[in-house]
Each structure stands twice: as C-alpha cells, then as structure tokens.
Amino acid sequence: MTHDSTDWLCINTIRTLAMDAVEQAHSGHPGAPMALAPVAYQLWQQELRYDPTQPIWPNRDRFVLSNGHASMLLYALLHLAGSRRVTSEYTVEDQVAIGLEDIKKFRQLDSSTPGHPEYRWTSGVETTTGPLGQGVANSVGMAIAGRWLAGHFNRPGFELFDYDVWAICGDGDLMEGVASEAASLAGHLKLPNLCWVYDSNRISIDGSTDLAFTEDVGKRFEAYGWRVLHVADANDLDALSQAFRTFKQDRGLPTLIIVTTQIGYGAPKKQGSASAHGEPLGAEEIKGAKRKYGWPEDGQFLVPEGVRERFAQRVGERGRKLRTEWEARFAEYQKKHPELAEHLTRMQKRELPEGWDKELPVFPADAKGVATRESSGKVLNALAKNYPWLVGGSADLNPSTKTFLTFSGAMKPGDQTGRNIHFGVREHAMGSIINGLALSKVRPYSATFLIFSEYERPPIRLSAIMELPAIHIFTHDSIGLGEDGPTHQPVEQLPSLRSIPGLIVLRPGDANEVTEAWKVIAPLRHQPVVLVLTRQAVPTLDRTKYAPASGVAKGAYVLSDSKGTPDVILIGTGSEVSLCLQAQEQLEGQGVKARVVSMPSWELFEQQDEAYREQVLPSGVHARVAVEKASTFGWERFVGLRGAVVGMRSFGASAPLKALQQKFGFTVENVVKVAREVIEQAKK
C-alpha cells in the first residue's frame, strides 16, 4: 500500500491530540496512544469496515481498545473520522460524537471523553474497557456473535454478516487471567473473524515487564491454537499492512499480531519509560516530542488541513459504500425472507419476537415440588423455542444448572451455528463473553453455581455499567446444597450482588415464580439480571389457596394474608418462602395473625410506587421477620430496627440439608420463636 506525507500528518495528529488532552486534564495515559497511533491509523484506513455516519450498522467491523487507559487513541480516531452520535433508542443524529471541545474536556465531569472508554456514554465505543482483559474477552463474544449471526441469517445470495473483530491490547491485558480464559476458548472454537493486536512495549506502571512477565506470549497463543504474526516496528506501515492482510486472507484461526512498540514514542527523555505510561508528559517533553514529529511546538489541539479529509476519503468512503450496499441487499432480503428480516430488525432494537411467551409452562400444585433449577430449565427451553436469538451455556455445569437447550446443537470448532455454548470451566471469561454477545445484540445467558459468581463478578458489574440485558443464571443458591461444605455454600453472595447498581436479582420461591421471573427477564432491554435457583426441591404452591405468582413482576407481593391487620409479617425469598408459610400456619394455630410476603427481588420492589410498597409492608406493622439462607446484611431496610432476620451469620458446614437447617435455625420452630419475639419487641 502506498503511503504519503498525509498519512504521517494524520498519525502525528492522533499523537499530539493525546498528549495535549492528557496535559490539559493533568491526568491520563499519553504513552500508549503515541506508540499505537500508526497501528490504529493503518488499521482504520486500510481494513476497518466502519461508516462514521452510521456507527451502529449491523455488519460493521468491531474495534475494541482493550487497554482502555489509552482512551485518547480511540477518541482521536472517532473525532477525526467524524463519527456520529447515537441515541439510547438507536437513532443516529447529525452531530459528531466527539468534537474538538470534547477532547479538550478529556476526563472532565459529564464529558463524552471519560478516562476509559464507556459504552453508551460515547457513540463509537463498542464496549467499556476499564479493567484490563475485559475488552479482549468481550471481543471473543463479539466474534462468536458474528459467526452465529452469519449462520442464522445468511442465505444464498444474501451474506448479511461477515464482519471481523479487531482488538488492541497491551501487556496488562495479556497478564490478566480472563484474557487467557477467553483466548483459550477462541482458539478451541477456531474463530476466523477475530484478530488481537498486541501492543508489546514491555512497560507497566512498576517499570519493565521483566519484573513479573517474561513468558513467550507468541508460543502461549500458538498453544491455544492461534495464528501468531510479528511486526518488529510499530512505525513500519508496510509491515502492519501485510499483517492485517494476512489475517484477512488466510482464514481458519484467530490471529494474534505482536507489534513491538515504544511507549511515549517521540518524547526525548520519557520514550520507552514507565513515566510515559500513566501521567502527563510535561510541557518540555511535549515540545520535544512535537519537534520529533515536525509539529509546531506551541500548537495545541491542532488538526491540520487534510487530516479529516484523509479519514473521510478512506475509512469514511469505504464504510459508506459497504453500508449502502448492505442496506440495498437487506431491502431485497426483506422481500425474500421477511420473517428473518423482521427478527433481525427486532434484534437490533432489543425487542422480543411475537409470541415469545406462548408456551411458557404453568406448574400444578405439588407438595413435594421440584428444584427451581429444574423448573427454570423447562421454562428456558420453552422460551428459547420462540426466542430464536436467545443463546447461552454454562461453565461445564449443564447437567447441574439445567441450562442446555435440548432442541438445539452446540457450538463447536469451526461451526458456531448452535445455540448452546460450552464455556468450559472459565467463569470469568464466560461473563465477559456474554457481554460481548449482548453488545452484538444477541440475547445471551450464562450459568454456574452461585458461589462462583465471585469469578464472574467483574463482568456482571460491567454489564450493569453498560446497561446490557445479559442473563446470569446461578444455581445451588444456599447452604441447601449440603455436603459440599462451606467452600461451595454461598452466604454473602446475595447481598453482594444486590449492592450492584442497575442489576436485578431474582430469587423465585417455587416453579410458578420461576415462570414469572422469566417473564420479567425476557423483555428487559437495558438491565442485566441475576436469576438465583435452588438445588433442592421446593413445594409448588397451590395458587388457588395463595396469591398468583404474577406478583413476582413487582418484586414482592402478599402471598398469604392474615384476617385483619397482621401481628407480624414474615418475608421470604426462594426456598424459604415455603418455610414462612409453614410458620404462618403454626402461628395462626397459636392465635397470632401473620402475613407472608414473597420477595423474589428487592430491586423490582423498590421500583414500585410508595402506595404499593405500603400495601405490602404497612409502616404501622413493626414486627417483621425476614427469612433467607444468606447473610443478613441489608435486610434492615425491610424489617426495620425492631424486626429480625433468620439468616446466616457465619459460613456453612458440610452435612446433609436437614442437619444444616437445624444447626442454622431454618426450621418452623425457630421462625415461630423469632416471630413471637419481634411481636413482643414491637409492643415496647
């Protein structure tokens, strides 16, 4: 590919914008953008299929900056390309996402240029890449989605999906375990549309990476089943072009391109040093770097004539041509494959298909009951049959989590057309990968035991930050799993998950509450959800005797009421709901009026208006008891200072379930005892 002086003018514009923005903010990471500017520029100009005027075109290439501290690299690219702003309702506005004034407000309050790229905050940012390793793991989900979309929607003469996923990553990304998990799965699946570009500058915050990171990364990735390419100098545009073309032309495996870079390239004293990583360069270093680039020393936030035009001529024109051709092809596709076209349109807006809930099961009353993981498996399979883009899997626990879609095949090496994903024992990457799937508008779910939510917590938090409708299914939800003991018995996980802003936690109490929980989950467009399920059987309640399970939609509801104002309110979740009902029956036999409230979701309940919340938990009734096989932390907001919680105040123990229930007080007798105590306390 022929290069000219305008190419270097563009590259140095990226570098100087990054230096100036960090310096003005007195905060940031200038070194990586200075080093990576040629790499990112060459990729965008030569290969990236992206239309800045329509930045959410479905078949665009995805560009992920996984080393998100280098955010000014991405902001400069989006600014120079003139990428447009997109609203939360997926409409494109005739306004740039990042203007020059936005770059001048780098890292400032309410700016569109935060310290790390944030999905939703800044149009053109494909994912939030704060914690290292998350971006590359997300990219694996995006690549899986691309392959699945192709298998599901492409038809002869209509290749709607053939996009590639490009991720730039650094030493820190590849030190993180989540990147290793994700890379291992990508290699196993032989994802041909995935390319990671590794910024190998061998510098971290502490200093040289030789302090802690001396492995041969290339050999590691070859062992994962990746193709590994090398570029010896980040400023060698021809070598970069050759590497990108090799990835595009020689398909069959995911590709890692190792590019040797010099952090802070051009800075006279700080080039190649840790001091160029995470702090402003200082005025004199900036002047020296600008002299190296042939730049006006005092020119700040300078975009020379011809730079924006070059971006428009290359990435802009190529993207617009590919996008308009795609739209014309899709118009014909709508005529020949109207149902599939409608599905794709709904997917892009995160809308449900017609008739998605028509076969959801209703479970008959059964005193013996069924584990909620079992009923959830039945509901999930019924739902998925009428929800064609619901895709997911478990971390090697399908027999236990009951999350395998029995009517569909599984994804396998070279073929990602199935709807079941075998993630292997890779909980952290699993969560990150389903975020990548959600970012690609596939509706994903993952599944493992609740105790292993600890491994999945970082991507759960990020799904909440990004407002992604990811579904995180957790079974074996309490000490109820018995003999596996404290290491496997979740205690503090429920309150911990409930503390994440924007996350909905649902712990249904019987099979029909499970069905209603899925009715809540399916329509969500901008909220992730955690569905918490039992290993052990719980009674399926007789809904002719108790309130309808549809109350789940409001987070809490009066399941069984007393005659007249209750003396005490018993609040239960999950498997403890039936325990509350048994305690209510015994209390009534003792002349105590007890109300039972099922509260599967704190978050949904708190979204209800004050009148409804007062109706369920009247403020005049101070005697309240919450019953949950989890840490008592947080229940004060519902039971008040005079109430009590029957819960866990220690870790569990290894024993059969009945012995554990007796030891930790989850018995009818203890709940009744505590209820009578709070009634007496409320009288004082």
Please give the positions annotated as active site: 427
* Rounded-to-integer distance, Cα 67 and Cα 175, Å: 12
- Nearest residue to 132 via CA among 45, 236, 16, 213: 213
- Helix 31-46 to helix 71-81 angle, to the nearest 10 degrees? 40
Report yes or no: 57 and 51 within 8 Å, Cβ to Cβ: yes
* Rounded-to-integer distance, Cα 574 and Cα 563, Å: 25
- How far CA 336 is from CA of 155, 159, 381, in Å, comes to 10, 13, 29
Report yes or no: 481 and 652 within 8 Å, Cβ to Cβ: no
Strand partners, 564: none
| Integer Rg of the chain from CA | 28
Alpha helices, DSSP H, located in 176-293: 177-189, 217-224, 237-249, 283-293
- Nearest residue to 446 via CA among 11, 196, 198, 141: 141
264: exposed, middle or buried (Cβ count in 10 Å: 0-12, 13-18, 19+): buried
* Rounded-to-integer distance, Cα 246 and Cα 103, Å: 34
302's tokens: 């300078």
Taken in order 198, 199, 204, 207, is the CA torsion positive or negative?
positive
* Rounded-to-integer distance, Cα 684 and Cα 603, Å: 32
Report yes or no: 106 and 72 within 8 Å, Cβ to Cβ: yes
Tell me 232's DSSP state. Answer: S
Report yes or no: 18 and 80 within 8 Å, Cβ to Cβ: no
- How far CA 323 is from CA of 61, 219, 320, 420, in Å, comes to 11, 38, 5, 31
Q: Which residue has the tokens 């209603």?
A: 516
